[in-house]
Amino acid sequence: MKIDDASLLAYVDGELSDSEREQVEKAIRESEDLASRVSMLRASQLPYRRAFEQQALPPMPQSLGLSVEALIRQHAQREGAQRSADATGPDHSRVTDAQPDDNAPQPRPRAKRRQWRLLPQWLTLPTWPRLAVAFVAGAFCCGLALRLVPQLTGAGGALTTASDTSGMTPWIKAAAGYQRLYTRDTVALLQPDMSATATTVADIQHVDNLPMQIPDLRSQGLTFKRVQRLRFHDKPLVQIVYLPEKGDPVALCVLKEVKADAAPSNAKVEGMNVVAWRRGELGYALIGTPGTVDLNALGRQLYDGRVSAIVSDNRTGADAERG
């Protein structure tokens, strides 16, 4: 059995036979690389379906539904005509110069199975109408997102935010706009893989060159959920997400800023409470919804170094060094 990403994904999803599973597990025991890839795949199992089931989405416009139905009918008619022609055999009396369409939809690879399994039942339509529906629906959702979060797009297409008088730098405004999209259901069911998290922290330190750790905020009532490596204007941006006992998630974001240290200051950005500071050429932004957590007190504790680390490097996947 060839052990590739598709078979590893099937293993993580529990879709292999007993014999195939045994082969994959043997290969994992013999290869640190395979074990690491499996850990990353398990860490990517986010409960998108459950999160979106809780959201109150606006109804689809009637005009959009009619347009999709018309596209499907047109495709069905063409397919019916094609099947009739195929049933009577090829027509050699016609000669065409048409060339193969390199942009025609190709069979979906096995490794993308998880993504499609989360989509609605109407995506079981034949390939072309399925893509048409997805395109039209995607355009609708994109328009909706731009209406709800207009600050994410500027005239030049770059990631920007609405201007305000907070004095916060652009990357903090962008991070606050991103965090604004989070709800409690976004991360409530996540169970972080600490071994994979330690590997991510090592990449942040050695690849992104950000000498940072993941603070342990359990004593402040915040449970660590995940860490993400993002980018802002081609600079590494780290987002660490915590979940309080009640309310929406809180994020600690970090970006390289070669500037003098600055004590914590607070502002409201994109409807979010933000406490920002700089220390050791790193910029920090603590972001949360109003009334969820006392960000001022927490930001001061982090700035003063009065919080221990839950993960420091990749030498351990459990609680790491203190201080």
List per-block mean pLDDT (blocks of 10 residues) for the chain, which spans 323 residues.
82 87 88 82 66 65 80 81 68 49 53 44 48 56 49 39 56 92 91 91 93 92 94 93 94 94 92 93 94 92 90 46 36
The number of angstroms, rounded, from the C-alpha of 204 to the middle of its chain's C-alpha atoms is 17
> Is 72 among the domain residues?
no
> Is 90 among the domain residues?
no
> Is 101 among the domain residues?
no
Q: For residue 310, what pLDDT is reported?
A: 82
- Asked whether the CA dihedral 246, 249, 250, 252 is positive or negative, the reply is positive
> Is 153 among the domain residues?
no
> Is 52 among the domain residues?
no
Q: For residue 84, what pLDDT is reported?
A: 73
Overall number of domains in the chain? 2
Q: For residue 154, what pLDDT is reported?
A: 40
Q: For residue 216, what pLDDT is reported?
A: 94
* C-alpha distances out from residue 167 to 38, 45, 68, 89, 99, Å: 43, 37, 46, 72, 57
> Is 17 among the domain residues?
yes
> Is 274 among the domain residues?
yes
Q: For residue 297, what pLDDT is reported?
A: 94
Alpha-carbon gap, residue 318 to 214, rounded angstroms: 12
Q: What is the CATH number of the domain that holds 230?
A: 3.30.200.100
Domain limits at 231? 170-311
> Is 223 among the domain residues?
yes
